[in-house]
Structure 1
Amino acid sequence: MSCQPPAVEKVRPEVVLEIDAYWVAVGGADPVAVVRGFGDRVRFLHLKDGPVSRDNLEQRPAGQGRLPIDAILAAAPQVEAGAVEFDEYAGDIFEGIAASHAFLAPRVAGVSA
């Protein structure tokens, strides 16, 4: 079974994709398989973590939840940029972003502080 929705096959090949790995997981799909399935078209990733639920206040910094962040990154070596973000966050948003950055920086080549 292909990870690509049929509509994506109709989009011109030069159109690249941005995937929110957390919401892929919340939707019931395997984010690693989805990212890998779209191949080189995935150029941007949204990375947050958590228990993989629809409760936005449960979202956590990267590395503090159930997402296989290292495997997601490995499935997308062509990614040009990532977004560390939360839809909502129960703690201090700046501390959450800093924690995500601290977790992700050593895992991603070319990330600057």
Structure 2
Amino acid sequence: MTPSPPPVIAAQLWSLHSEAADDLFGVLAKVAALGYPAVETISLYGHQPARVRAELDALGLALCSAHAPFPVDEDADNVLDAYEELGADTLVWSLEPEEFTSVDAIHLGADRVNRAAANAAVHGMTIAYHNHFAEFRNVFDGRTAYDILLDALEPCVLLQLDTYWAHTGGVDPAALAASLGDRLVSVHLKDGPARGMDDYMVPFGDGVVDVQAAARANPAVRWNIVEMDRSHHDMYELLGRSYTHLVGRELARGKR
């Protein structure tokens, strides 16, 4: 059942990564013009956090979260200081496929995420885990690597479900989203053939993913985030069509 009011729609800037590397502020202006009220960053592309924050504010764009490597190494404080200055309250990242090849590897990866969450908490920030598909394809004694990971993560670690990669991994993203309860704060929505990491994304409804079911599945979700990793379609057209699809069906809230 779609929550009332529905989640806010946001655009993941990886969709426009190449252009953003050359003209981040121009990209932000175009995304705002499409009606998106929020974005999720993937990089600051060399800009100072305060400058990016000022541009977001000028365009009326909220920052739903930021993708940034888990802050656990010697650069952790610099990363956290930068994203605190940007105004991010949630940092999102993933483990690598090789970290799901054994139960021991999963627990080592979970320890890294938990340490990142403890470091982020000092800055008043939270960590969220973003999945790909190795988490679901790798199974140990009848349990997916994702289930093992969730059990090993501290409760303060939130979840961002990439519904497309969950489908690619062989699970029903809507059923999975519903099972994650209040820990699930955002979802990535995209459509395509769901074969692997080199897939090209298509308009919602033209691929194999039941995007509408995934978008409706969990009333705890606060952000429905559109991400198109790559596409043969014009990316702004695709983001605009995605916006119309979700907002027009009252699966998300936008500016228009």
The reply to whether residue 18 of structure 1 matches residue 165 of structure 2 is no
Q: C-alpha separation between the residues in 2 aligned to 1:30 and 1:111?
A: 27
Structure 1, unaligned runs of 5 or more: none
- Cα distance in 2 for partners of 1:109, 1:72 equals 12
Larger Cα-atom Rg: 2
Residue 104 (structure 1) aligns with: 246
Alpha-carbon shift at residue 83 of structure 1 (Å): 1.5
Taking the TM superposition and a 5 Å limit, the aligned residue runs for 1:64-103 are 64-103=206-245
Q: Percent identity?
A: 32
**Runs of at least 4 residues of structure 1 off by over 6 A?**
none
Q: CA deviation at 1:72?
A: 1.2
Contact 1:22/1:49 (CA < 8 Å) preserved in 2?
yes
- Measured in 1, the distance between the counterparts of 2:179 and 2:194 equals 21
Q: Give the C-alpha shift of residue 2 in structure 1.
A: 7.3
Gap runs ≥5 in structure 2 = 1-141
Task: Name the CA distance, whole Å, in 2 between partners of 1:109 and 1:91.
Answer: 23
Q: Is the 8 A contact 1:105 1:112 kept in 2?
A: no
Higher mean C-alpha deviation, range 4-13 or range 14-23: 4-13
Higher strand share: 2
Kept in 2: contact 1:84–1:97 (CA 8 A): yes
**RMSD between superposed Cα atoms in Å:** 2.0
Do the aligned partners of 1:63 and 1:69 also contact (CA within 8 Å) in 2?
yes
CA distance in 1, matches of 2:148, 2:251: 31
Structure 2 partner of 1:52: 194
> What secondary structure is seen at the aligned counterpart in 2 of 1:70?
helix
Given that residues 2 and 37 in structure 1 are in contact (C-alpha distance below 8 angstroms), is that contact kept between their aligned partners in structure 2? no
Q: Distance in 2 between matches of 1:56 and 1:62?
A: 14
Contact between 1:63 and 1:103, CA under 8 Å: does it hold in 2?
no
Write 1 or 2 for the structure with the bigger share of helix.
Answer: 2
TM-score, normalisation: structure 1: 0.85
Q: How many residues align?
A: 112
